[in-house]
Structure 1
């Protein structure tokens, strides 16, 4: 009986020794929803922005505008998803912040959705 009691006590002590803090904030970073926030966000912060493309700068660079400002976006061919977008079209872009050490922040666009 003493052996059983000793074994039970040892098991109880050893399992409590394994208890403790098991990780941190494992939630993904929340997406930024305005251009004003995106300009201040860290590199690779996810963004979901709704607004309009106002003009084309280069073959894959455009200016995008929402109610809080304007920012340069970099759109690769796959992001268009065979959609024709005009400056009148309200769109939502999904991507990540690109904090360039040489200039202002821009957005690397992964996907565009017409509203």
Structure 2
């Protein structure tokens, strides 16, 4: 009985060691990375580009929220045009913006049959 218990304990401890070693292998085969992905990130887009992307594509936009259209629905504008953005109340995280404030929005393109809007996941007021 004691040998069985010792074998189970040793097996579970060694499994934990092997489980911690898994992760993303970098393309240059330098080993495992710890702490998240290291590589290219989505660059800054504009509204014209965002409208041509596939549904659920990730975008980063900078411009101004010019008006509120409805609850959690706003018009956003940059130098290439305007688009409706859906910003859940929780995404504001205590920040306030006016039409003259430049903001950075990160989110997903949300395409329906005849409309395109951005589902905002993160908003930051730029100084």
TM-score by length of 2: 0.65
Contact 2:59/2:107 (8 A) holds in 1: yes
Contact 2:61/2:104 (8 A) holds in 1: yes
Instruction: Quote the offset at 1:29 in angstroms.
Output: 7.8
Note if 1:107 corresponds to 2:113.
Answer: no
TM-score by length of 1: 0.71
Aligned twin of 1:82: 94
Aligned twin of 1:70: 82
Instruction: Quote the offset at 1:30 in angstroms.
Output: 3.5
- Could you say which structure has the greater relative contact order, defined with CA pairs below 8 angstroms and 6 or more residues apart? 1
1:20-99 maps to which residues of 2 (within 5 A)?
30-31=42-43, 33-99=45-111
- Secondary structure, aligned partner of 2:70: coil
Contact 1:94/1:112 (8 A) holds in 2: yes
- Structure 1: tracts of 5 or more residues without a match: 1-26
- The structure 1 segments of at least 4 consecutive aligned residues displaced by more than 2 Å after TM superposition are 27-32
Contact 1:63/1:73 (8 A) holds in 2: yes
Aligned partners of 1:48 and 1:99: how far apart in 2? 16
